[in-house]
Amino acid sequence: MSTENAPEGWLSDFAFDGRGEKAHIGVVLVHGFTGSPASMRPWAHNLVERGYSVRVPKLPGHATKWEDLNQVSWKEWPARVTHDLIELRKTCSKVFIFGLSMGGATTLNVAENNAVDGLVLVNPMIHIPGIQVKFAPLIAMLKKGLPSVGDDIKKPETTEWGYDVLPTKGVLELNKLLKATKANLKSVTAPTLLFHSVDDHVLPVSNSDIIMSKIGSSSKQRIEITNSYHVATLDFDAELIFANALAHLEQWS
């Protein structure tokens, strides 16, 4: 996995102002930790083809070099998504946020603090289980990076164009995001659709279980997907995700 040789423009912010009757509906798509906007671009294009207004932000510290992810604060990630949310509100009557993995936690954090018309979460992250995270500060002092956890994709020869190193100080900030967001999940009231890969090698199922049990949304639906690993937006179940997300948009807009 590497950011080298990615399709032109796929590692950058992406924006499309909608066309036709769907133009007043906006969607922000949020990639995961050490990943890149490339993991959300096929989904974004699916929405663009149908006329929706779309934003795919490049989260601070991502899609450049892995060392940059050791230099950011966790608050910069929801702030970046909130910026796009506010921009879409200027022209859209309804705005949704779709998040993958850590992008799911970022999505939830934004929804805790802003009005959002609906959420779609794909293998979202909300905690780091086990005792190893307790040693993360010490590990970050000793090593700047560890082996990557990215590109957990069942589909052959497919990459999310992310980092091939796990930045250890970035992990500390990630854990701060997760703790702050988990503590306030009941504040999430937007209609929520969650996809969980039953064969995910990055996150345990406890992440989806916690989110589904603790968010305050009166409408929440979970769909188990069986032919994809963690980065399901690029995997065999991508079309299933896209189709159900479209139905979610239609229902709540």
What are the pLDDT digits (tens) for 53-98? 999 999 999 999 999 999 999 999 999 999 999 999 999 999 999 9
Residue 44 makes CB contacts below 8 A (sequence gap 6+) with 14, 16, 27, 29, 54, 56
pTM here?
Answer: 0.94
Strand order in the sheet with 25-30: 14-16, 53-56, 25-30, 94-100, 118-122, 192-197, 220-225
Lowest mean pLDDT among 137-141, 156-160, 243-247: 137-141
Task: Output the pLDDT for position 239.
Answer: 98
**Rounded to an integer, what distance in angstroms lies between the CA atom of residue 169 and that of residue 47?**
35
Percent of the chain having pLDDT more than 90? 87
Tokens read off for 64: 């450049």
116 has pLDDT over 80: yes
The answer, yes or no, to whether residue 1 has pLDDT greater than 60, is: no
Instruction: Report d(CA 80, CA 86) in Å as an integer.
Output: 10
Could you tell me which residue, 140 or 167, shows the higher pLDDT?
167
Question: Using only C-alpha atoms, what is the Rg of the chain?
Answer: 17
SS3 of residue 8 by DSSP: coil
Q: pLDDT averaged over the chain?
A: 94
- In angstroms, the Cα distances linking 143 to 32, 60, 165, 170, 172 are 22, 21, 11, 12, 13
Active site residues: 101, 200, 230
More confident residue, 229 or 168: 229
In this structure, are residues 36 and 3 in contact, taking their beta carbons and an 8 Å threshold?
yes
> Which residue ranges form the domains of the chain, and what is each CATH number?
14-252 (3.40.50.1820)
Both tokens of 93, joined, read 């009557």
Q: Do the Cβ atoms of 205 and 133 come closer than 8 Å?
A: no
C-alpha of 139 from chain center: 25
Strands 94-100, 145-147: pairing is unpaired
